[in-house]
A and B are shown apart, each in its own frame.
Chain A
Amino acid sequence: SQTIHQWPATLVQPVGSPLSLECTVEGTSNPNLYWYRQAAGRGLQLLFYSVGIGQISSEVPQNLSASRPQDRQFILSSKKLLLSDSGFYLCAWSRTSGSLTGELFFGEGSRLTVL
């Protein structure tokens, strides 16, 4: 069966510090991968998605970046965090084909607080 792991679960970072969130998927090949952010009281905002290794599409211009160094690994990074980067970050995957529903499978999330 497929599983998705996301870490760390919680982190508190000072403004201006770097960030690295990691997500890995097991049990499937060539998944589509996504990073979402959910700010307090807000909806899910798509940040990045990837359809293959090294292929990253950015939905929102910001100080965040994403990388996909391996087929089932997706990393969200920042060189210098801003207060507005605080939020709940969710990694998700979906099948590229063969799915009747096109559903997304989400990780457990990473709660980031920037102070």
Chain B
Amino acid sequence: SQKIEQNSEALNIQEGKTATLTCNYTNYSPAYLQWYRQDPGRGPVFLLLIRENEKEKRKERLKVTFDTTLKQSLFHITASQPADSATYLCAPRGSGGSYIPTFGRGTSLIVHP
């Protein structure tokens, strides 16, 4: 069965450093991979999408990579701020009109001032 793995332990970093979160998947060949942010007690919010033919995608301080050989996506936040503290979820998806979203458990990021 399809499996999505994200670091279960919280990632603690100092303000200003780069945070790197990992998403690994098995038994799956997604055409796209989405990343979401979830704050406590709130619904997830979409951040970025990267396609299988894209190595890297950037949006402001965010950068996502997608390695279909390793079956892995890395999510980077540069110059991290305490306001970046949240849980980050990855969601691989297939191509075509029928999209059944599957989410990883998410990794909690805590940025210390």
Binding site for B on A (CB under 8 A): 32, 34, 36, 42-44, 46, 49, 51, 59, 88, 90, 92, 94, 96-97, 100-109, 111
Say yes or no: is B42 at the interface (Cβ < 8 Å to chain A).
Answer: yes
Q: Are A109 and B43 in contact (CB under 8 A)?
A: yes
Closest 3 CB pairs of A and B: A106-B43, A43-B105, A103-B46
A90 touches B43 (CB 8 A): yes
Residues of A close to B79: CB separation below 8 A:
none
Encode B80-110 as 1/0 by CB contact (under 8 A) with A: 0000000001010100011111111110000
Known: A44-B89, A49-B100, A102-B49. A111 touches B44 (CB 8 A): no
Can you give 8 contacting A-B residue pairs, CB < 8 Å?
A43-B105, A46-B101, A46-B102, A49-B100, A102-B49, A107-B43, A109-B42, A111-B41
Beyond A44-B89, A97-B97, A109-B41, is A104–B46 a contact (Cβ under 8 Å)? yes
Task: Find A102's partner among B41, B89, B99 (CB 8 Å cutoff).
Answer: B99
What total of chain B residues lie within 8 Å of the partner, measured CB to CB? 24
* Residues in A neighbouring B45, C-beta threshold 8 A: 106
CB distance from B48 to the nearest CB of A (A): 8
Query: Which single member of A92, A97, A103 contacts B43 (CB below 8 Å)?
Result: A92
- Please state if A106 and B99 are interface contacts (CB–CB under 8 Å): no
Give Cα distance in the complex from A46 to B45, angstroms.
16
- Per-residue CB proximity of B20-53 to A under 8 Å, as 1/0? 0000000000001010100001111110010000
Min Cβ gap B43→A in Å is 3
Taken together as a complex, chains A and B put the C-alpha atoms of A44 and B41 apart, in Å, by 13
Determine whether the beta carbon of A43 is less than 8 Å from that of B106.
Answer: yes
Contacts of A107 in B (CB 8 A): 43
Shortest C-beta distance, B103 to chain A (Å), equals 4
Complex CA gap A56/B97 in Å reads 16
With both chains docked as a complex, state the minimum distance between the C-beta of A2 and any C-beta of chain B, in angstroms: 13
